[in-house]
Amino acid sequence: MSTKVDLSGKWRYSEDYGYGLANGELHISQEGTRVKGRIIFTDSLHEEESFMIQEFVEGVVINNKFILDATEWDLIHSESEIEYELDSWCGDIVTDSLIQGKSVDEQGIEGKFEFEKIK
C-alpha cells in the first residue's frame, strides 16, 4: 500500500485503552502525504459518566503508516468538568478502508484503535 491511496472522507472510530472505550467518527482530508481534520467521539470510562469530545488532528501518511496527532480539543458534552489529554495515533493502513494501530495520550495511556472507512 502506498501513499497513492486517498484517505479523505469519514471513518468509524473505535478504541479500547484499558480504562474505557472510545467510539465515534474521524473526518479527514488528504493532500499528498498530509492529512488533517477532526475526530468526534464518546469516551466511556469504566464506572464513570461518559462524555463527548472533539479533537482537531493533523498527520502524515508514509508508505503504509498513518500517523495522526491532536492539536487541540473541545468538549461537546459532559455531565461534569473533565481534564483531557491530547491523543496521538500511529497505525498501519491494512486496506484502503481499514487502519489499525496504537494510540497514546499525553499522560502515556496507550490503547488499540481501528478506523474503518464509511462508504
Among 54, 55, 79, 81, CA closest to 68: 55
Cell of 18: 484499558
Kindly tell me the number of DSSP H helices and DSSP E strands found in the chain: 0, 8
pLDDT band (50, 70, 90) for residue 2: very low
Q: Is 93 inside a domain boundary?
A: yes
Q: Is 18 inside a domain boundary?
A: yes
Indicate the number of domains in the chain. Answer: 1
The CA distance from 33 to 81, in Å, is 37
Q: Is 15 inside a domain boundary?
A: yes
pLDDT band (50, 70, 90) for residue 119: confident
Q: For residue 73, what is the domain's CATH number? A: 2.40.128.120
Q: Is 4 inside a domain boundary?
A: no
Residues sharing a CB contact under 8 Å with residue 47, sequence separation 6 or more, in sequence order = none
**CA–centroid distance for 11 within its chain:** 9
pLDDT tens digits along 8-61: 999 999 999 988 999 999 999 999 999 999 999 999 987 788 999 999 999 999
Q: Is 55 inside a domain boundary?
A: yes
Q: Which residue range is the domain that position 100 belongs to?
A: 9-117
What pTM, to 2 d.p., does this model score? 0.91
The whole-number pLDDT of residue 68 equals 98
Contact (Cβ atoms closer than 8 angstroms) between residue 107 and residue 88: no
Residues sharing a CB contact under 8 Å with residue 64, sequence separation 6 or more, in sequence order = 1, 2, 92, 93
pLDDT tens digits along 77-115: 998 888 899 999 999 999 999 999 999 999 999 999 999
